[in-house]
Amino acid sequence: MGTMKFPKRYLVVILTFICTSVCYIERVGFSIAYTFAADAVGVNQASKGTILSTFYYGYACSQVPGGWAAQKIGGRKVLLLSFVLWSATCALVPLDPNRVFVMVVARLLVGVAQGFIFPSIHTVLAQWVPPHERSRSVSLTTSGMYLGAAAGMLFLPSLVKYKGPQAVFLVEAALGAMWSLLWFKYASDPPRSEHPKATAAGFGESALPINGSEKLKLENGGSSIRSAKIPWKKILLSLPVWAIVVNNFTFHYALYVLMNWLPTYFELGLQLSLQEMGSSKMLPYLNMFVFSNIGGVVADHLVTKRILSVTRTRKLLNTIGFIVASLALMAIPIFRTSGGAVLCSSVALGFLALGRAGFAVNHMDVAPRYAGIVMGVSNTAGTLAGIIGVDLTGKLLEAARSVDSSLSSPESWRLVFFIPGLLCIFSSLVFLLFSTGERIFD
């Protein structure tokens, strides 16, 4: 790599991008393979909701510990460890909807392992990426999730059809192993003159003034950050942090409900088969991929060119994203064709992804030094949304089934999409009122 003029931080960003793609291929893959296997043996919707939401229990448990571990051990190592863990679980566990206990344990394990990934990535990016490239780097990395989800939606239903649902797990494990090797080979901690240890401070820190006592510690090769007290109380009592948390909850409520239940909506609500829908079913995620990056580039442009303050930039993109998404979500059950459903869910997910350039990058604005921790806290809320939303949707549908046995009427699905729609309006208001782009923790 020495002769190339390709900055190392770009390589790190590209690898984290591939990392999130693979994780989401795994998640979409599970919901496709499991839906197929479960419907084949007649598992009811409420039980499906329980298994689909088990992942998020494990995922919720490891968000904050993930942020803490990344801060202490370093994001690079934590990332590798979690990848090896979930890939091994995928490789070793058979998919059998009748063996509920095995499925639950396996999903919990994968959830716990993947929970370490995002806080670690944020720690790695805060170390490598200078502030003016931050929005697009975070947007690019997180957009990997949607590209992965799109790829999963496109290829995996056919894989399930021809090779059976178990094949999905083996493909995912192989992808996980391949990424782990790449990361092991190419990722490193940022070069920080003589004291590589001091990098947990984050790249952006070097540009910020350090008071005398800390400067001394850094120069003596000690690392003030790793030993620094994390201001838990201040973080948990901060309204701007809560603004991020509420929006993270809503974003993931909508995303996870669509991700886990769209296959069921297409199959039962609209009586379409996923294989026959061709490539249109991946459009919602492809749209997220595109809009996530548009949001990042626009945000960086507005901030760098001083067109708007950081605070206004975050609020503007967040509000546009969430309000448009809320309208699109509520419109889903009105359309009775695959085209209408795909269009609405694409607009909804695309604009939610645009909103990420508001609330999701905001972690690094308010707390550059504790980005991994704040990310862990807000992602825990996002994950609770997965547990609540995915599970509640199963129960709503099981209740609707007593009225409409086939679940093909729009009424059975109305509440499923109205709840995230209303949440979008509520959380965009919270963000407008309480968020800030200023740094509040140092």
pLDDT in tens, 378-413: 888 998 998 999 899 999 998 888 887 778 888 889
The two structure tokens encoding residue 125: 């990016």
Rounded CA separation 11/339 (Å): 38
Mean pLDDT of 312-323: 95
Q: How confident is the model at residue 206 (pLDDT cuts 50, 70, 90)?
A: very low
Dihedral sign from CA coordinates of 160, 51, 258, 298: negative
Which of 287-291, 306-310, 393-397, 401-405 is the least confident region? 401-405
Residue pLDDT, tens place only, 37-57: 888 888 888 888 888 889 989
Rounded CA separation 316/139 (Å): 16
pLDDT at residue 238 greater than cutoff 50: yes
The two structure tokens encoding residue 162: 């021809």
- Are residues 380 and 132 in contact, defined by beta-carbon separation less than 8 angstroms? no
In sequence order, what are the residues at sequence separation of 6 or more whose Cβ sits closer than 8 angstroms to the Cβ of residue 402?
none
Mean pLDDT score of the chain: 84
The two structure tokens encoding residue 346: 């694409």
Dihedral sign from CA coordinates of 70, 74, 76, 78: negative
Q: Which has the closest alpha carbon to 313: 299, 296, 332? A: 299
Taking CA atoms, 2 is separated from 78, 158, 194, 315, in Å, by 26, 42, 19, 42
Q: State residue 278's pLDDT score.
A: 76
Q: Which has the closest alpha carbon to 364: 151, 194, 130? A: 130
Q: Which has the closest alpha carbon to 127: 198, 51, 32? A: 198
> At residue 53, what is the residue type?
S
Rounded CA separation 236/240 (Å): 10
Collapsed DSSP state (helix, strand, coil) of residue 241: helix
Q: State residue 290's pLDDT score.
A: 93
Does the domain at 8-189+229-434 match CATH 3.40.50.720? Answer given as: no
